[in-house]
Amino acid sequence: MFNNINNIIYNSKKIVLSTHEKPDADGLGSAIAFYYYLQSINKQVKIIQPSHFPKECKIIDPENIVETYSNENKQYVESSDLIILFDVGHIKRSKQISEIAINRNIDMISIDHHKNDNTDFFKEFHIDVEAPATGFLVWKYLKSLNLKTPWDIKIANALYAALMTDTGSFRYDNTTPIVHDMASELLSYGVKPYEIYVEFYEKRSLSQLRLFSHVLNNLKFALSNSVCYCILEKSVFDKTNSKVSDTDGFTEFLRTIDKVEISCMITEQEDNVFRVNFRSKGKFTINDIASKFGGGGHKFAAGCKISHSNVLEIEKKLLNLLKEKLG
């Protein structure tokens, strides 16, 4: 299954690992785990991200190996002979990293659990949309190597964070028996689940709570309360002294409301640039709706970015699409 990837890595001398912009624990955890494996076989490797990663991911990067793309490491990317992308979905989400690879004809590999229509860009890829997380695919890859030495705790922590976050702390319907097998194995290497959980889910700031209070006071419902959504314009972040990243987890919470089937957050990230996050309880797929706005994702968790558009136009189009879907 992984022979081609093995051969490409074996013949490469200078490797870049990366994931999507505004990375999450799955993409970063996958890259970090792979980094330590490549180091163990004496490969020259760096993790270089197109954007800064969230502070909660610091627990899986204790040695500060994750770099953000800059003029200082641009030359390393340009002179590499292999770039491996994790959890990217659409290649444009890897920004400067894939742009350099395409312009300089650098070999690329994709390991992902998102549907990917850009496979022509890759020399090799391993994509499994049924996998619960990209970290799960990295775990399978490392197991296929039959490594004789025990797994480093840094690899185990990174993969556990990837699995935990992308299964909703083992609550989503992608939590299968083999997911628990993987978690059990990682725990046997010394992972402490609560320590990782706390970093991701139990360190809310007061500014984030103020923002969440605003969300709760400005909820909108549609289609017999089966749809719940909120619009956050830039001014709200100034009023609550919060950041766009503070909205993490809000869409999932709105989905928990009784009778709500689909939840959405429409967030203005920059002037007239909006991020729309979708979540579904499982009765209706929503990645097809995200794709109509140029986005994508999983069947029940998806998103898109919309530029140069009025928020009222976005709201109207979104509600029309949801009405078509829900009937």
More confident residue, 309 or 144: 144
- For the ranges 54-58, 65-69, 127-131, 213-217, which has the lowest average pLDDT? 54-58
CATH fold, domain 206-326, is Diaminopimelate Epimerase; Chain A, domain 1 (3.10.310)
What is the mean pLDDT of the segment spanning 167-191?
Answer: 95
CA angle 302–307–308, rounded 5-degree value: 150
Q: What is the pLDDT of residue 15?
A: 98
Q: Are 323 and 284 in contact (CB under 8 A)?
A: no
* Joined tokens for residue 193: 């689940």
Residue ranges, comma separated, of all CATH 3.10.310.30 domains in the chain are 206-326
Is there a contact between 180 and 187 (Cβ–Cβ < 8 Å)? no
Mean pLDDT, residues 178-205: 96
Give mean pLDDT, residues 119-136. 94
Mean model confidence pLDDT for the chain:
94
35 burial (CB, 10 Å; 0-12 / 13-18 / 19+) is buried
Which pLDDT band, with edges at 50, 70 and 90, does 327 fall under? confident
pLDDT at 77: 98
Structure-model confidence comparison of residues 74 and 272, the more confident one: 74
User: Which of 4-13, 208-217, 262-271, 287-296 comes out lowest in average pLDDT?
Assistant: 287-296
Alpha carbon distance 299, 288 (integer Å): 8
Task: Classify 3-201 by CATH class.
Answer: alpha beta
196: confidence class by pLDDT, cuts 50, 70, 90: very high
Give the torsion through C-alpha atoms of 121, 124, 126, 127, to 10 deg: 20
Quote helix, strand, coil % in the chain, to nearest 5: 45, 20, 35
The answer to whether residue 184 scores a pLDDT higher than 90 is yes
**Pair 87, 60: CB distance under 8 Å:** no
Quote the pLDDT of residue 150.
67
Q: How far is CA 153 from the centre of its chain?
A: 22
Helix (H/G/I), strand (E/B), else coil: 252: helix
- Please list the alpha-helical segments (H only) found in the chain: 3-10, 25-40, 71-79, 96-104, 134-144, 153-166, 177-188, 193-201, 206-217, 234-240, 250-255, 287-292, 311-326
Q: Please give the angle made by the CA atoms of 229, 232 and 235, to the nearest 5 degrees.
A: 165
Q: Nearest CA to 298 among 313, 288, 283, 306?
A: 288
Close Cβ partners of 313 (under 8 Å, ≥ 6 residues apart): none
Over 90: is that where the pLDDT of 89 sits? Answer: no
Phi and psi at 108, nearest 5°, equal -130, 145
**CA 157, CA 103: separation in Å to the nearest integer?**
35
- How far, in Å, CA of 36 to CA of 17, rounded? 11
pLDDT band for 183, please (50, 70, 90 cuts). Answer: very high
pLDDT at residue 86 is higher than 80 = yes
- Where are the domain boundaries for CATH 3.90.1640.10 in the chain? 3-201
Residue 117: its pLDDT value, please?
Answer: 74
To the nearest whole percent, how much of the chain has pLDDT over 90? 87
**Is the pLDDT at 210 greater than 80, yes or no?**
yes
> Over 80: is that where the pLDDT of 149 sits?
no
Give backbone dihedrals phi and psi of 83, rounded to 5 degrees, phi first.
-125, 125
Phi, psi of 325 (to 5 degrees): -75, -45
What is the strand order of the sheet 227-232 is part of?
Answer: 220-222, 227-232, 262-270, 273-280, 301-307, 296-297
Confidence bin at 315 (pLDDT 50/70/90)? very high
Residue with tokens 């290649």: 91
Q: Which tens digits make up the pLDDT trace of 45-72? A: 999 999 988 889 999 999 999 999 999 9
